[in-house]
Structure 1
């Protein structure tokens, strides 16, 4: 190592020196191996990489010139020509010297994080990356967010090509899974500790911050003036460079406790067999020509320089070893870049070994004692190289297989004594099924001290069952409103996008989170309304029977004989089933009752109305028969008015027969009238036939009313024309009122309205026609005789 400028010693940079030690260990291991490059030894030159384009290019020119001069195209020490150059830990260095090295076709092997830009074969055909692609890193992060329900996160990424690619890929997966970004902040790239910038971190309601960047990104955030405002944020770090977290914390010291509880995605920890023993046995005298090796022991293990030999260490403290370093820098734990350095040296050695074997096949042994291998001849072997390293891992540069497929999820924990430890709390397997790719042990996770349980990170709290999400205009999809479902809808899941309607046989509970089965109900006798109607129908039926008995007992009296005694008996007999038909509407409907309801109602009321019409016609014929007209007298004596009943009834029978033949009534359920009940009702079947029945009854009633109204002024001795008029007026009024009420009600009330109309109209006929006659028969019997009739007739004259 030949440094031309002194670099300020910063303790937290010494962790990177492990890469040099891994390089030296790999060289010594190969040189001692009897199987790899036998009878040959690997040599090396080490050059420091400074945070400067000029200094990086200067180091590359020194290497190309043999190490003592800056004349890359003139080198008299050809035997010291390098066959490969190992570069790291940032891709920026490869970009800086890649074009220069490409002129000489020298293989450039990088051990830093994988950079997609460096994989461009057209631009960098001689460059090889040891680090595998982080193809599934964004998938693992999204799966972690979904596992904890973190739907509102902030993104902080490095302001470079890698950061842009990561951001683009992550956002695409987040959109697919409805995860929203609270804000995105680009972190400026830094090239050294002196270029750290004071950035202003955006603060939001997101409790989860995803950080993707190199070591400088961590330093930039930690050194920001408002970094303390990130207390209580869960950091998710996804770049392999964040494996150097201990370096950052050594530098940040008291401010680094804000990273406590962070989660890190890292490649599986790998061990290099024998490396820990190599580090443990190192002493200050092994590499006296290495300036930085000497400086490392002086700075980290407090050794003293010799006064006689300039730059040589004279003595160190007892038990000075990398295993017991007093500083916080841990040199014994293998970092990912150190593992890649170890693999890079072995890869070059295997390629060189295959190239030498090829020479042995075409040339004699004497001619290849010290062969000179041009660097460009290694490329065919490097591209196809496959070997198993000392750790037993299969190593290949095949782009199809060189992917990170398994990540460790680690929890960053800080103890009260300010010590730190990474605790493995889970794993992500990209090749496992979707529901099994992430394994997390939540009980092992230590969250930031502000959280007593697993933190939440949402823009809006979840909509509980019974509510649905509705988006807000101009805001991310995660920032929504929770709107209660309507009375007929439910939502049985959290964050339901929409409510759904319960089936007809079910209704929503009070929380509108699930559907409950509706109770079957109908107009029964246990209901107060059904009980009242049934009792009323029974009483009116008994009254009808009593009236019929009174008329039978006094059948020979003038008032019963008047206006056709037979028609009065027929009317009373027809009124009895009118009242009794109400019981067909009360109770649980079945097919038989549904058919009998309408047919019975239609026929018995037709008989009753036609009987009233016949009685009215009888009154008119009786008074008109006194005139000298034989036809009227013949009609009266022949009982022609009685023929009205069978004729009118026959017409109704035909209508009912057509109804039953085409679309008869049937049992149905009403799920809309009452929200929590399923009402069993009788469906009319053909609505047209039902209205035809009502229309025919209405026409018959209107005709009876008209005839009775015309006969109202006839002599009123035993004349019931007025009573018939009033009865039909009441009948028509009830049924005219019934129609709008019937169609405006539903369920049991609709049935009750129909029953009430039947009872009211029947009671009107019974009361208006027979009540006056019963009053005379029972209370004023003196008027119910021929003597009383003559006396009243004389008084009227």
Structure 2
């Protein structure tokens, strides 16, 4: 490495030898270019480098090798043309620096720290062997220095010029180290700050949903700074870094490390890789990546990279489809027209133009001075070169050089105006100034709306987003596809024309760059332990929760009146459900209730029609009428349970049900007691006759009903039934039900009915063996047994069901128990009345009694 540096330094100090395929030019060639003027600006930046492959000494020239090569950087040569264009424009302007011509001294800078300082010292002193504080042979005034393209170059020169407070303007890239006023108080950075570059890049990632990206950064303070800024912006927006590769500044050292990790970069799921750096720090990276067939990656980078330095191994370029962030600057149409007129005959002092004409237009060169021998292709122009070799549009750095020259010119103009005001009679005298006097004016000049010379100013950034088209290889177009403006509203900062973007040929659509596939609607992200937040699993949303977007962290629970669909991506309105008349079950119960109530009314009509017959009289027709009327009401009670409930029906349901069944059971109890009194009591005949004649058992009905009324009153007074909704019983439905209010009161009412049924059953059971003639004791006992069994079974089934089924269970119990009373008590009587009228007579009763008495006497 040391021998290579030494040889390169010797070559650049002494001469440049042009070695081409068919001719050789072994003479000393000047690397500097001088444009005369009353005031000159120094310019230092590299245009070419010299390297050798076979280190064989030249046979006749000492210190020269026989086979070495000169490599031009055509992108940097545009910087020299921008300098010439700006100087000529100022000299043509009669209102700027009148009677004063502006010139420049250009020096090519090699990649050698010693030679960089040597060239700066030679220019500063005017001596080939510079001595400190001497200025020999310089008739014109040196005003300022323009440096680039590396912060190291500017820092080296700035260290020397700082001693003399000599103004130094750097055209890029912007570097925070050069903003340190304690070290570089005479340095002015023309390049805009990259304060918002990280925000612009992350905004692009979010726009295309790229959450898994790689980083290739220079291994210096700029790489560390941009890494911290990017990491902060990415973490706040959940964009993850797949890998970070810090690139050494020396490309030979870079190669050894890069080749080891190249496989990881190729195999990474990150299809988007961010590259940040300048021409110097990226030259090794671009050279290596250009030799790889990496068409599966999208490169996102800043504008300080060189597309002319790629290897031409494939027709498809590795960087085709890249996205480039470039600071916005105004279009310079005059510069494009100026480029068209540039040729070796217009600028004979330019030592580089003849080499370009030789390389690209096949013009013969002189073997003595490397100048063109004869005119060839008079219409030849740099415009004819392929775009990947020479781009006609003014680059960002060229624009900064243009503005730097104008900044110096305006400062000189201000100084000349002051001198004219102080010495009005000496207008023709040349301007007299010291370079340090320019500082006062340079700090005041606002060069552009997005750059300022004053390092303290805060500047809003506006970027153009360029898409690099290089398919087929050599197209070399940088097409503007969008913008980013930091001072725009948040959702309008990034503007893109996606239809204009050309992606790498591997991708037929917008590339994906994610660690895990997106979780679609109905799923949520589940973090993986030890992995980045961008790496996750997809799990379905829990019950009654949805996600209608991709990559959600948490599912959203549906409101109580909604439910999640099967895909769990939408909440649907729940269907209001109740035991309606239109439902099959509701229609059946309604039909049964109406039929049985009508049947009960018919039975009542039969009893009224045959009220004077013995069987109706013997079974206490008033109690029979009361029971039949009550049973009719009992059969109609289910109609209150069917249909959309409301607060009134909720109260009437239980009160009507409890009251009607209390009357019915009390009537049955009165019937049973009547039978007991008539056949089993041992009281004297007068007492029995009084009990029967006074109809004392009938008072059981109001007494028992009064107790139920008190219970219902307490129920309504403390916690009455109310309308309620149950959204959880049936999926997708809201069940409208009547809440019982007080469960204790409801069970007391129901328990009281069962107590009456049990009492009636006992009374009827005691009279089961009495004479059968018109005796209904057995039928009463059967009816009470069925009633008791129905409601005892009802309780556990009722509490194990919900919603409409629970209501249907209560309706069924009402209908079943009412039908049991009607069937067991009145069916036998109707049979005798309607089908066996011969048994419904006193004659039949006497025969039956006479036969029973004869049997008793015989026994």
Does the TM-score normalized on the shorter chain lie above 0.5?
A: yes
In the other structure, the counterpart of 1:482 is 538
Q: 1:563-712 residue pairs with structure 2 within 5 A? A: 564-628=620-684, 635-660=691-716, 664-709=720-765
Does the CA-based 8 Å contact 1:152-1:457 persist in structure 2?
yes
In the other structure, the counterpart of 1:4 is 14
Change (3 A) 1:563 1:489: same
CA distance in 2, matches of 1:453, 1:78: 62
CA distance in 2, matches of 1:779, 1:718: 13
Matched, 1:55 2:115: yes
Describe the SS at the equivalent of 1:315.
coil
- Equivalent of 1:248, from 285, 306, 309? 309
In the other structure, the counterpart of 1:749 is 805
Matched, 1:64 2:139: no
* Range with greater deviation from structure 2 (103-112 or 700-709): 700-709
- Equivalent of 2:237, from 170, 177, 187? 177
- Equivalent of 1:314, from 373, 388, 392? 373
Distance apart, 1:111 and its partner CA: 0.7
In the other structure, the counterpart of 1:789 is 849
In the other structure, the counterpart of 1:187 is 247
Distance apart, 1:782 and its partner CA: 4.5
CA distance in 2, matches of 1:735, 1:223: 93
Change (3 A) 1:793 1:182: farther
Change (3 A) 1:502 1:371: closer
Cα shift readout 1:348-402 (whole Å, capped 9, x = no counterpart):
22223323433444567669945653332222221112468xxxx8974144667
Change (3 A) 1:690 1:418: same
Matched, 1:110 2:170: yes
Describe the SS at the equivalent of 1:622.
helix
In the other structure, the counterpart of 1:357 is 417
Does the CA-based 8 Å contact 2:340-2:383 persist in structure 1?
no
CA distance in 2, matches of 1:191, 1:627: 130
Distance apart, 1:87 and its partner CA: 0.9
Distance apart, 1:427 and its partner CA: 2.2
Change (3 A) 1:226 1:432: closer
Describe the SS at the equivalent of 1:672.
coil
Q: 1:475-514 residue pairs with structure 2 within 5 A? A: 475-514=531-570
Describe the SS at the equivalent of 2:708.
helix
Distance apart, 1:756 and its partner CA: 0.5
Distance apart, 1:758 and its partner CA: 0.3
Does the CA-based 8 Å contact 1:288-1:312 persist in structure 2?
no
Does the CA-based 8 Å contact 2:343-2:353 persist in structure 1?
no
Q: 1:77-226 residue pairs with structure 2 within 5 A? A: 82-190=142-250, 198-199=258-259, 200-201=261-262, 202=265, 203-215=267-279, 219-224=283-288
- Equivalent of 1:234, from 278, 286, 298? 298
Change (3 A) 1:345 1:712: same
CA distance in 2, matches of 1:282, 1:533: 103
Distance apart, 1:125 and its partner CA: 1.4
Change (3 A) 1:324 1:602: closer
Matched, 1:523 2:584: no
Runs of 5+ unmatched residues, structure 1: none
Does the CA-based 8 Å contact 1:64-1:81 persist in structure 2?
no
Describe the SS at the equivalent of 2:143.
coil
Describe the SS at the equivalent of 1:37.
coil
Distance apart, 1:634 and its partner CA: 5.2
Distance apart, 1:751 and its partner CA: 1.7
Cα shift readout 1:123-174 (whole Å, capped 9, x = no counterpart):
3211110111122222222222232232332222222222222222223222
Distance apart, 1:93 and its partner CA: 1.2
Cα shift readout 1:466-513 (whole Å, capped 9, x = no counterpart):
333333333333333333334533333333433334444444334333
Scaled by the length of structure 2, the TM-score of the pair is 0.82
Change (3 A) 1:306 1:236: closer
CA distance in 2, matches of 1:691, 1:636: 35
CA distance in 2, matches of 1:655, 1:380: 103
Cα shift readout 1:735-794 (whole Å, capped 9, x = no counterpart):
121122222222221221111000111122233333445556545955961321342355
Matched, 1:760 2:824: no
CA distance in 2, matches of 1:287, 1:524: 100
Scaled by the length of structure 1, the TM-score of the pair is 0.88
Change (3 A) 1:670 1:213: same
CA distance in 2, matches of 1:587, 1:26: 92
Describe the SS at the equivalent of 2:195.
coil
CA distance in 2, matches of 1:793, 1:524: 60
Q: Please provide the CA RMSD for this pair.
A: 3.6
- Equivalent of 2:784, from 728, 739, 760? 728
CA distance in 2, matches of 1:226, 1:701: 99
Matched, 1:35 2:91: no
Change (3 A) 1:53 1:255: farther
* Range with greater deviation from structure 2 (118-127 or 215-224): 215-224
Does the CA-based 8 Å contact 1:107-1:379 persist in structure 2?
yes
- Equivalent of 2:525, from 463, 469, 472? 469
Q: 1:303-342 residue pairs with structure 2 within 5 A? A: 303-306=363-366, 310=369, 312-319=371-378, 321-323=380-382, 329-330=389-390, 332-342=392-402
In the other structure, the counterpart of 2:36 is none
CA distance in 1, matches of 2:451, 2:543: 64
CA distance in 1, matches of 2:854, 2:233: 111
Does the CA-based 8 Å contact 2:217-2:245 persist in structure 1?
yes
Describe the SS at the equivalent of 2:244.
strand
Change (3 A) 1:646 1:266: same
CA distance in 2, matches of 1:40, 1:82: 13
Cα shift readout 1:226-261 (whole Å, capped 9, x = no counterpart):
974632322222x1213x32x134x44537612222
Q: 1:353-502 residue pairs with structure 2 within 5 A? A: 353-362=413-422, 369=429, 373-386=433-446, 396-399=452-455, 403=459, 405-416=461-472, 418-502=474-558
Distance apart, 1:679 and its partner CA: 4.0
In the other structure, the counterpart of 1:259 is 319
Q: 1:277-296 residue pairs with structure 2 within 5 A? A: 277-284=337-344, 291-292=351-352, 295-296=355-356
Does the CA-based 8 Å contact 2:149-2:280 persist in structure 1?
no
CA distance in 2, matches of 1:760, 1:226: 91
Runs of 5+ unmatched residues, structure 2: 1-10, 17-48, 51-68
Distance apart, 1:646 and its partner CA: 0.5
Change (3 A) 1:195 1:364: farther
CA distance in 1, matches of 2:681, 2:496: 109
Distance apart, 1:340 and its partner CA: 1.4
CA distance in 2, matches of 1:418, 1:288: 30
CA distance in 1, matches of 2:352, 2:793: 110
Change (3 A) 1:431 1:668: same
Describe the SS at the equivalent of 1:614.
helix
Distance apart, 1:89 and its partner CA: 0.5
Change (3 A) 1:326 1:154: closer
CA distance in 1, matches of 2:853, 2:178: 131
Aligned length: 788
CA distance in 2, matches of 1:748, 1:144: 56
